[in-house]
Amino acid sequence: MNNMSVVGMMNSIVPITRFNKGEATRIFDEVETTGTKIVMKNNKPACVLISPSQYESLMEMLSDYILLTEAENRMAANNPEENVTHEEMMNELGITNEDLDGVDVEIE
Protein backbone atom coordinates (compact mmCIF):
# COMPACT_ATOMS: atom_id res chain seq x y z
CA MET A 1 0.00 0.00 0.00
CA ASN A 2 1.19 3.48 -0.79
CA ASN A 3 1.53 6.20 1.79
CA MET A 4 -1.35 8.58 1.41
CA SER A 5 -0.70 12.31 1.09
CA VAL A 6 -2.73 14.86 3.06
CA VAL A 7 -4.57 15.81 -0.13
CA GLY A 8 -5.20 12.16 -0.93
CA MET A 9 -6.45 11.60 2.61
CA MET A 10 -8.82 14.56 2.35
CA ASN A 11 -10.13 13.31 -1.00
CA SER A 12 -10.78 9.89 0.49
CA ILE A 13 -13.12 11.20 3.21
CA VAL A 14 -16.80 10.50 2.61
CA PRO A 15 -19.45 11.91 4.96
CA ILE A 16 -22.11 9.41 6.02
CA THR A 17 -24.72 11.86 4.72
CA ARG A 18 -23.78 10.86 1.16
CA PHE A 19 -25.00 7.35 1.97
CA ASN A 20 -28.13 8.80 3.53
CA LYS A 21 -28.76 10.71 0.29
CA GLY A 22 -28.69 7.49 -1.73
CA GLU A 23 -25.19 7.88 -3.18
CA ALA A 24 -23.92 4.44 -2.16
CA THR A 25 -23.52 3.21 -5.74
CA ARG A 26 -21.53 6.30 -6.68
CA ILE A 27 -19.32 5.93 -3.59
CA PHE A 28 -18.67 2.25 -4.38
CA ASP A 29 -17.72 3.24 -7.93
CA GLU A 30 -15.29 5.81 -6.48
CA VAL A 31 -13.70 3.09 -4.34
CA GLU A 32 -13.11 0.99 -7.47
CA THR A 33 -11.61 3.88 -9.43
CA THR A 34 -9.77 5.95 -6.82
CA GLY A 35 -9.17 3.54 -3.95
CA THR A 36 -9.87 3.66 -0.25
CA LYS A 37 -12.65 5.78 1.23
CA ILE A 38 -12.97 6.75 4.89
CA VAL A 39 -16.60 7.11 5.96
CA MET A 40 -17.10 9.81 8.58
CA LYS A 41 -19.96 9.83 11.06
CA ASN A 42 -20.25 12.69 13.56
CA ASN A 43 -16.81 13.92 12.43
CA LYS A 44 -15.18 10.61 13.39
CA PRO A 45 -14.05 7.76 11.12
CA ALA A 46 -16.81 5.13 11.16
CA CYS A 47 -15.39 2.66 8.62
CA VAL A 48 -12.97 2.28 5.75
CA LEU A 49 -14.15 1.12 2.33
CA ILE A 50 -11.68 -0.74 0.14
CA SER A 51 -12.06 -2.81 -3.01
CA PRO A 52 -12.28 -6.59 -2.72
CA SER A 53 -8.89 -6.91 -4.45
CA GLN A 54 -7.28 -4.53 -1.93
CA TYR A 55 -8.89 -6.49 0.92
CA GLU A 56 -7.62 -9.78 -0.51
CA SER A 57 -4.13 -8.32 -0.88
CA LEU A 58 -4.14 -7.07 2.71
CA MET A 59 -5.32 -10.44 4.00
CA GLU A 60 -2.57 -12.21 2.03
CA MET A 61 0.04 -9.82 3.46
CA LEU A 62 -1.28 -10.44 6.97
CA SER A 63 -1.22 -14.20 6.44
CA ASP A 64 2.34 -14.02 5.06
CA TYR A 65 3.41 -11.93 8.05
CA ILE A 66 1.89 -14.43 10.50
CA LEU A 67 3.67 -17.30 8.73
CA LEU A 68 6.96 -15.38 8.71
CA THR A 69 6.66 -14.68 12.43
CA GLU A 70 5.95 -18.35 13.12
CA ALA A 71 8.94 -19.41 11.00
CA GLU A 72 11.22 -16.94 12.78
CA ASN A 73 10.02 -18.18 16.18
CA ARG A 74 10.66 -21.78 15.15
CA MET A 75 14.12 -20.93 13.82
CA ALA A 76 14.98 -19.10 17.06
CA ALA A 77 13.86 -22.13 19.09
CA ASN A 78 15.72 -24.60 16.86
CA ASN A 79 18.36 -26.75 18.55
CA PRO A 80 20.75 -27.98 15.84
CA GLU A 81 21.72 -30.95 18.02
CA GLU A 82 18.15 -32.25 17.78
CA ASN A 83 18.01 -32.04 13.97
CA VAL A 84 17.96 -35.26 11.97
CA THR A 85 18.77 -35.83 8.33
CA HIS A 86 16.20 -36.79 5.74
CA GLU A 87 17.66 -40.28 5.55
CA GLU A 88 17.56 -40.69 9.34
CA MET A 89 13.89 -39.68 9.45
CA MET A 90 12.98 -42.01 6.59
CA ASN A 91 14.69 -44.89 8.42
CA GLU A 92 13.01 -43.98 11.71
CA LEU A 93 9.59 -43.96 10.02
CA GLY A 94 10.33 -47.09 8.01
CA ILE A 95 9.76 -45.35 4.66
CA THR A 96 11.77 -46.04 1.52
CA ASN A 97 12.19 -43.90 -1.57
CA GLU A 98 10.21 -46.53 -3.49
CA ASP A 99 7.28 -45.99 -1.09
CA LEU A 100 7.22 -42.34 -2.16
CA ASP A 101 7.60 -42.85 -5.92
CA GLY A 102 3.84 -42.89 -6.56
CA VAL A 103 3.02 -40.03 -4.18
CA ASP A 104 2.22 -36.68 -5.79
CA VAL A 105 2.69 -33.68 -3.49
CA GLU A 106 1.96 -30.06 -4.36
CA ILE A 107 3.71 -27.38 -2.34
CA GLU A 108 2.80 -23.69 -2.58
DSSP 80: G
Q: Specify if 100 maps to a domain.
A: no
Three-state secondary structure call for residue 81: helix
Contact 78, 53 (CB under 8 A): no
Q: Specify if 108 maps to a domain.
A: no
pTM listed for this prediction: 0.62
Does residue 91 sit in the same domain as residue 71?
yes
Does residue 84 sit in the same domain as residue 60?
yes
Does residue 46 sit in the same domain as residue 60?
no
pLDDT at site 3: 54
pLDDT at site 100: 87
pLDDT at site 43: 92
pLDDT at site 34: 85
What total number of domains does the chain contain? 2
Give alpha helix (H) positions in the chain: 6-12, 16-20, 24-34, 52-77, 86-93, 97-100
Q: In what order do the strands lie in the sheet with 37-41?
A: 13-15, 37-41, 44-49
Does residue 30 sit in the same domain as residue 11?
yes
10-residue averages of pLDDT along the chain (108 residues)? 65 90 93 91 94 94 97 94 92 91 84
User: What is the span of the domain harbouring residue 76?
Assistant: 54-95
